[in-house]
A = this chain, B = another copy of it.
Amino acid sequence: MLSKKTKYALHALTYLGKHREEKTVLIHDIAEEHGISHKFLENILLELKKAGMLGSKKGKGGGYYLIKDPKEIPLSKVIRLLDGPIALLPCVSLNYYEPCSECKDEATCGINKVMIQVRDETLKILENKTLEDILKT
């Protein structure tokens, strides 16, 4: 399951996507709309900004705005950023690889082999579903 961080990020991105004609959107408005903590959301938006999905304007009259086309924001990117690996095991993660301690030999481990296949197929899904898909429904 996705963490609340990722879930909130998706809601925030959706909100920003729906308000693209406005110059900026306040954290406060997004938080209120979904009944989530302003301060918690603040950290999340900051991460999305650092990852290049959002822009911001400081000071009075400031706020956040999308700086990417929604179809350029795949779910895989949001999930990886806030939740970490998409792979089911560390030993098959492309972005967060770590060996599995209980596995004697990765090269001959059947679990490893199958999880690589699962990862590749899962990635196909999550790289193809984008913010645009969320916005257009």
What is the interface of chain A, defined by CB distance below 8 A to chain B?
A: 1-2, 7-8, 10-11, 14, 33-36, 75, 84-85, 87-90, 100-104, 110-111, 113-114, 117-118, 121-122, 125-126, 129, 133-137
Residues of B within 8 Å of A11, CB to CB, are 102-103, 111
Quote the shortest CB–CB distance from A5 to chain B (angstroms). 12
Check A114 against B89 for contact (C-beta < 8 Å).
no
Residues in B neighbouring A137, C-beta threshold 8 A? 110, 113-114
Residue in B8, B114, B126, B134 whose CB lies within 8 Å of A110: B134
Q: Give the secondary structure class of A's interface.
A: helix
- Of B34, B88, B110, B121, which is within 8 A of A136 by CB? B110
Residues of chain B within 8 A of A8, CB atoms compared:
102
Do the beta carbons of B14 and A85 come within 8 Å of each other? Answer: no
Q: Are A87 and B133 in contact (CB under 8 A)?
A: no
Q: How far is the CA of A2 from the CA of B89 in the complex (A)?
A: 6
In chain B, what residue has the closest Cβ to A121?
B125
Known A-B contacts A1-B90, A89-B1, A90-B1; A129 and B102 likewise in contact (beta carbons under 8 Å)? no
